[in-house]
Structure 1
Amino acid sequence: MTEDTNAPVAKPEIVLERVGNAGLITLNRPKALNALSLQMVRDLSAALIAWRDDPEVMLVAIRGSNKIGRPGSKEALFGGFCAGGDIRFFHQAALSRDSTLEDFFTEEYSLNYLIQNYPKPYIAFMDGVVMGGGMGLSQGAAMRLVTEHTKMAMPETNIGLFPDVGGGYFLSQCPGSVGEYLALTGEVIGADEAISYQLADVKCPAADMPALWAKLGQQSFASIDAAKAWVANDFVQGEDIEEYETEGLNAYFSLLRVKHIVDALEASKQPWARKLGVVLRKRSPLMLHVTLEQIRKARGLPLADVLRMERDMVYQCFHLRPGADSETVEGIRALAIDKDYSPRWSPERIEDIKPGMADEFFVSPWTAETHPLRGL
């Protein structure tokens, strides 16, 4: 037999490089905005564990690739970070009762925990889209770089889900009630807001990204502490940002219940507030209630407990109402499968939510000894 040299060659979805004392990760699924597959989660976990235990690796960095850039050019490797998990896979797996859906969330949340507790400097180049699972890959970083192209969000309520991957942990640490605002609305924010809301550290021009990336492999460190000091003090000089105040958001999103928040927004004399009221009317009423409860339960909890809670919650999202009856499956259908953008939420209106409806999402199907994240 002869080899077909014209056959397409599958490109790896994760590209790993060792350059000097740096371990460098490139998410390489640009046509899907680097959305995470189960294999990508497994490859990322394996690489981070190997580099954690390698005494020659002193720091780790992660970036996305960009489908717009010219193949092989430096520009092709920036401009897109990660749009989240592969929601088409979630939809298909939920309908077919595929057990790998359970594996995905268990392993993704374990990866989020690993990143948040990584003992070596971990730098996230958050250029372009940074949403959902992309936030899980970046929020635990020692240095979170954003650019003028950054589009950050936790948009899960738009698909009948909640902001997972530790979203309860990092959103609840935002100033005031910003966490409630971002979690409920799924609004997209830019670099200045991200830094003001404590979801990023440094803003730098997107044009500087290739040189900063190259700089990582050019350093030599005597110790991890030396690498930490260099990342904190010498790696990059940030641009000035526009500070965003939170008092306006707090006035609405600190209110006790979802109905109170929506009523206040809709009655506001401020156009931006009324616009957010319209946004919330489009979200799953049930998952708005679940999400508000999540953020407030998570506030003050350690990360491991938040991730275990979110693992319980995501199980219930697909099992309380299995298959097509799941609010999450319906949300994904409307947004990504049929693309009719008309999800049939149940209950249909915020006013139809009864007290206690959100409670069952926080009931764990496991004991402490059998929980899939018991080892965190």
Structure 2
Amino acid sequence: MIQTEIKNKIGIIYLDRPQALNALNRQMIGKIEETLKSWEKDSEIKAILFDSKSERGFCAGGDLKEIYVDYLKNDEAKDKDIFFKEEFALDKYIMTYPKPIISHWFEVTMGGGIGLTIHSDLIIADETVNWAMPETSLGFVPDVGVGYFISKLPQAMGQYVGLLGARLYPDDLLSYGFCHMLIDSKDYGELVNRLMDMDADSENLIEDFKEKVLDLNQLPKETKNTKNLEEIEKHFSKDGVEEIKNSLEASDSDFAKESLAILNNRDPFMLEVQFKKYFLGKKLTKQETIDLDLEIIKYGRKTGALEEGIRSVLIDKDKNPTWPTKSLEDVDHEEVDRLLGIK
């Protein structure tokens, strides 16, 4: 599930569940929390490094298949939200962890894996990273506190990423401040070697380390998103989800057609939730954001949206969900405001 080692006073946590691309389950979450609490008290450990034993990526997110079988479809499960409660409690603990945390994002880095590490003091990504928060396809919205960061994106990009679950490419992650360093994957071994050569007792370990690896840092380049920025801004800066949809329908560009197809496949209720949550999130703390995320997931479980989303994407894989709310016209906007605590 996880492996740990201590080198040069740095505690390393490797996610190690290769058969599920390190998808987080309750056992992993418990082990990570137990390890971090032990290391918090250990004066010999000066910093933490999150990494993966898999070459296929850092983490595919939470193990939603397991949640579906063990909780959503299991009538004997006493607390159907227990996974998310424990996952979010770990994420909140990491937000205020007293020792510096360094994390390595590469290849598949999604959902719960992002939530686990996005509050790190130093996030190192490379050109292979496939970063996404695809939760609107699963009957909820970007969770694990990541909405705090999505709300800091410019409006059009924030809505594009939040509503569609669109990718942020490696160079986007650096440009928008989601990671702190972008390196060539072939340089990661050298970077770790330099970390292990550091004076780990330094009070400015992270800043000293960043100076030491400055030559490995890359400047952001153009991405698919920067190439499409004019269209993203044209459509996703609108004042509502229906306006975004109408704008996409009025365009015959490939970008608009692809975006519309994705939008039409998402849960209409959760699209409206995410649209408003983008603006609300500008006023919320990291802790308030993740607390709201839990309430939205509980709501999606009660309505059946969460179960249907997971079924259509991960279980039956037909990608043809039947959402509890059939269309944008059917969305109860007062209910959206109640869920978000908007008076």
Which secondary structure does the structure 1 equivalent of 2:67 belong to? helix
Aligned counterparts of 2:26 and 2:233: Cα–Cα separation in 1: 37
Q: Contact between 2:231 and 2:255, CA under 8 Å: does it hold in 1? A: no
Report the counterpart of residue 211 of structure 1 in structure 2: 190
Aligned counterparts of 1:177 and 1:111: Cα–Cα separation in 2: 31
Cα distance per residue 1:44-101 (max 9 Å; x no partner): 11222222232211111111232xxxxxxxxxxx441111101012212112142454
Change (3 A) 1:20 1:101: farther
Which secondary structure does the structure 2 equivalent of 1:81 belong to? strand
Which secondary structure does the structure 2 equivalent of 1:63 belong to? strand
Report the counterpart of residue 43 of structure 1 in structure 2: 31
TM-score normalised to structure 2 length: 0.90
Write the letter of the residue equivalent to 2:275. L
Further displaced range: 299-308 or 94-103: 94-103
Write the letter of the residue equivalent to 1:229. E
Report the counterpart of residue 27 of structure 1 in structure 2: 15
* Equivalent residue for 1:299, pick from 273, 282, 297: 282
Change (3 A) 1:345 1:83: same
- 1:257 has 2:236 as partner: no
Aligned counterparts of 1:159 and 1:333: Cα–Cα separation in 2: 8
Aligned counterparts of 2:197 and 2:35: Cα–Cα separation in 1: 21
Aligned counterparts of 2:50 and 2:177: Cα–Cα separation in 1: 19
Q: Contact between 1:143 and 1:231, CA under 8 Å: does it hold in 2? A: no
Report the counterpart of residue 345 of structure 1 in structure 2: 323
Report the counterpart of residue 64 of structure 2 in structure 1: 87
- 1:231 has 2:206 as partner: no
TM-score normalised to structure 1 length: 0.83
- 1:259 deviates by 0.6
Which secondary structure does the structure 2 equivalent of 1:145 belong to? strand
Aligned counterparts of 1:122 and 1:266: Cα–Cα separation in 2: 45
Aligned counterparts of 1:241 and 1:363: Cα–Cα separation in 2: 38
Alignment map for 1:71-220 (pairs within 5 Å): 78-92=55-69, 93-97=71-75, 98-220=77-199
- 1:256 deviates by 2.1
Q: Contact between 2:127 and 2:170, CA under 8 Å: does it hold in 1? A: yes
Q: Contact between 2:9 and 2:46, CA under 8 Å: does it hold in 1? A: yes
- 1:218 deviates by 3.2
* Equivalent residue for 1:62, pick from 34, 39, 50: 50
- 1:363 deviates by 6.2
Q: Contact between 2:68 and 2:310, CA under 8 Å: does it hold in 1? A: yes
- 1:160 deviates by 1.0
Structure 1 segments unaligned to the other structure (5+ residues): 1-12, 67-77, 365-376
Report the counterpart of residue 272 of structure 2 in structure 1: 289
Q: Contact between 1:147 and 1:191, CA under 8 Å: does it hold in 2? A: yes
Further displaced range: 309-318 or 46-55: 46-55
Aligned counterparts of 2:152 and 2:97: Cα–Cα separation in 1: 19
Aligned counterparts of 2:44 and 2:80: Cα–Cα separation in 1: 35
Write the letter of the residue equivalent to 2:249. E
Change (3 A) 1:101 1:47: farther
Change (3 A) 1:198 1:266: farther
Aligned length: 335
Cα distance per residue 1:209-253 (max 9 Å; x no partner): 233234333333334x23122233224531222156556433432
Aligned counterparts of 1:192 and 1:50: Cα–Cα separation in 2: 35
Report the counterpart of residue 275 of structure 1 in structure 2: 258
Bigger share in helix: 2
Q: Contact between 2:118 and 2:146, CA under 8 Å: does it hold in 1? A: no
Identity value in percent:
30
- 1:316 deviates by 1.4
Aligned counterparts of 2:275 and 2:29: Cα–Cα separation in 1: 28
Aligned counterparts of 2:79 and 2:335: Cα–Cα separation in 1: 28
Aligned counterparts of 1:160 and 1:261: Cα–Cα separation in 2: 20
Aligned counterparts of 1:278 and 1:242: Cα–Cα separation in 2: 28
Write the letter of the residue equivalent to 2:100. P
Aligned counterparts of 2:59 and 2:103: Cα–Cα separation in 1: 11
Aligned counterparts of 2:230 and 2:154: Cα–Cα separation in 1: 10
Further displaced range: 285-294 or 210-219: 210-219
Aligned counterparts of 1:243 and 1:229: Cα–Cα separation in 2: 27
Aligned counterparts of 2:294 and 2:190: Cα–Cα separation in 1: 39
Q: Contact between 2:269 and 2:325, CA under 8 Å: does it hold in 1? A: yes
Write the letter of the residue equivalent to 1:293. K
Which secondary structure does the structure 2 equivalent of 1:177 belong to? helix
- 1:38 deviates by 0.8
Report the counterpart of residue 53 of structure 1 in structure 2: 41
